[in-house]
């Protein structure tokens, strides 16, 4: 565990009934990298996210995040510790405006309570103004500032994905975990997303990325972890993983020859 590593996962296991969704998955994510997590459907990628963010309790293994263990921590405490996530099937606050969605992301870094709300003292007013300002900045940052006052559910699909990223960034994460952010995006939108990911990384935030779009993964990720049937089958740079026969077999179903794909 070097000073470089932000997240260390050791032997993470998770079962659902008799199904081993995750078996002894071990990996390390370093500060400032974009770490890819790929695998065929049902490989356990989203389960890993859910265990990491405290939605499920792991059956075995443990995480060390930023030097401290992350055991039996509730989802909100995970966010407080500095891991923010998006969801595979977008989970915005549908009937609130885009801006309010991001403002809710600021919740965990602000502190006004009941009395602040009722009496609107100077500190609360200042905090509210700061929340609003920061939220606008983040909307601009991901490129949906024009839709600030629209309900989240009325945003275009790609905008919803980016809004979810803005909302996650509002929690000031050290690690941003994205679950298929490019799903449903066209080529132009994916290009924009790629630039956004690189910009987020440049701003010092580490990214964990689940993605099916291999072109995006290969062009943006520093290292990639490949899961299949809940097991880690490969880890390394994009180029290395791409050539790994086990990965090719997992993706193409073993019997199918590579020629067919071409």
Partner 1 sequence: MEILLQQIINGLTLGSVYALVALGYTMVYGIIGLINFAHGEVVMIGAMVSLSVITALVGAQTSLPVVVVILAGLFVAILVCMTIAYGMEKVAYRPLRKAPRLAPLITAIGMSIVLQNVALIVWGRNYRTFPTIIHPTPYDIFGATMTDLQMFIVALAALLMAALLFVVQRTRLGMAMRATAQNPQVAGLMGIDINVVISAAFVIGAALAAVAGLMVMTYYGIAHYYMGFLLGLKAFTAAVLGGIGNLAGAMLGGILLGIIEALGAGYIGDVSNLCGFPWLSDSLHEQCAANEGQVSMFGSNYQDVFAFFVLILVLIFRPSGLLGERVAERA
Partner 2 sequence: MSSHRPRHVPPKVWAAVALVAAALALLPFVAALAGQAWVRILNFAMIYTMLALGLNIVVGFAGLLDLGYIAFYAVGAYVYALLASPHFGIHLPFWMILPLGAGLACIFGVLLGAPTLKLRGDYLAIVTLGFGEIIRIFLNNLNAPVNISNGPQGINLIDPFRIGSLSLARPEVILGVQFSGPQKYYYLLLLLTIGVIVVNIRLQNSRLGRAWEAIREDEVAAKAMGINTRNVKLLAFAMGASFGGIAGAIFSATQQFVSPESFGLFESVIVLSMVVLGGMGNIPGVILGAIMLTMLPEVLRYTMEPLQLALFGRVLLDAETVRLLVFGLALVAIMLYRPAGLWPSAVRKRELETPKAAPG
Contact residues toward partner 1 (CB under 8 A) are: 46, 49-50, 53, 55, 87, 91
Q: Which does 215 bind (CB under 5 to 8 A by kind): partner 2, partner 1, none?
A: none
Q: Which does 129 bind (CB under 5 to 8 A by kind): partner 2, partner 1, none?
A: partner 2
Is 35 one of the binding residues for partner 2 (CB under 8 A)?
no
List CB contacts of 172: < 8 A, sequence separation 6 or more: 82, 109
Cα angle for residues 21, 26, 29 (degrees, 5° grid)? 115
Q: In terms of CB distance, is 86 or 101 closer to partner 1?
A: 86
Is 186 one of the binding residues for partner 2 (CB under 8 A)?
no
List CB contacts of 118: < 8 A, sequence separation 6 or more: none
Q: In terms of CB distance, is 227 or 234 closer to partner 1?
A: 227
Cα distances (angstroms) measured from residue 117 to each of 95, 121, 123: 22, 8, 11
Q: Is 260 left (phi over 0), alpha (psi -120 to 50) or beta?
A: alpha
Q: Is 143 helix (H, G, I), strand (E, B) or coil?
A: coil
Q: Where are the beta strands (DSSP E) in the chain?
A: 5-16, 19-30, 34-38, 60-65, 68-69, 83-85, 175-179, 206-210, 223-228, 231-236
Is 63 one of the binding residues for partner 2 (CB under 8 A)?
no
Is 174 one of the binding residues for partner 2 (CB under 8 A)?
no
Q: Which does 46 bind (CB under 5 to 8 A by kind): partner 2, partner 1, none?
A: partner 1
Q: In terms of CB distance, is 139 or 224 closer to partner 2?
A: 139
**Tokens at 33, concatenated:** 């990298």
- Rule CB under 8 A: choose which of 4, 19, 129, 187 binds partner 2: 129
Question: Within 13 Å, how many C-alpha atoms sit on residue 36's CB side?
Answer: 27
Is 150 one of the binding residues for partner 2 (CB under 8 A)?
yes
- Give the total residue count for the chain: 262
Q: Do 247 and 236 contact (CB within 8 A), yes or no?
A: no
Q: In terms of CB distance, is 164 or 211 closer to partner 2?
A: 164
Q: In terms of CB distance, is 85 or 223 closer to partner 1?
A: 85
Pairing, β 175-179 against β 83-85: parallel
Q: In terms of CB distance, is 25 or 241 closer to partner 1?
A: 25
Q: Which does 113 bind (CB under 5 to 8 A by kind): partner 2, partner 1, none?
A: partner 2
Q: Which does 205 bind (CB under 5 to 8 A by kind): partner 2, partner 1, none?
A: none
Question: Within 13 Å, how many C-alpha atoms sit on residue 169's CB side?
Answer: 25
Q: Which does 128 bind (CB under 5 to 8 A by kind): partner 1, partner 2, none?
A: partner 2
Q: Which does 76 bind (CB under 5 to 8 A by kind): partner 1, partner 2, none?
A: partner 2
Is 116 one of the binding residues for partner 2 (CB under 8 A)?
yes
Q: In terms of CB distance, is 49 or 65 closer to partner 1?
A: 49
């Amino acid at each position: 565990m070097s000073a470089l590593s932000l997240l260390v996962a050791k032997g993470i296991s998770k079962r659902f009934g008799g199904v081993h969704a995750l078996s002894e998955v071990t990996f390390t994510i370093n500060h400032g990298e974009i770490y890819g997590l790929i695998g065929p459907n049902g490989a356990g990628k989203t389960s890993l996210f859910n265990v990491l963010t405290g939605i499920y309790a792991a059956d075995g293994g443990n995480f060390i995040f930023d030097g401290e263990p992350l055991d039996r921590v509730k989802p909100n405490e995970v966010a407080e510790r500095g891991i923010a996530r998006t969801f595979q099937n977008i989970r915005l606050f549908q009937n609130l405006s885009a801006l309010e969605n991001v403002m809710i992301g600021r919740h965990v870094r602000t502190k006004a309570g009941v009395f602040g709300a009722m009496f609107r003292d100077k500190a609360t007013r200042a905090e509210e103004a700061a929340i609003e300002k920061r939220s606008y900045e983040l909307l601009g940052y991901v490129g949906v500032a024009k839709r600030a006052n629209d309900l989240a559910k009325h945003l275009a699909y790609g905008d919803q994905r980016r809004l979810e990223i803005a909302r996650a960034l509002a929690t000031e994460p050290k690690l941003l975990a994205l679950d298929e952010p490019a799903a449903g995006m066209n080529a132009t939108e994916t290009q924009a997303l790629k630039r956004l990911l690189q910009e987020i990384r440049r701003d010092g935030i580490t990214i964990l990325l689940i993605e099916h779009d291999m072109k995006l993964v290969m062009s943006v990720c520093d290292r990639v972890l490949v899961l299949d049937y809940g097991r880690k089958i490969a880890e390394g740079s994009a180029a290395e993983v791409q050539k790994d026969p086990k990965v090719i077999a997992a993706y193409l179903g073993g019997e199918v020859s590579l020629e067919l794909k071409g």
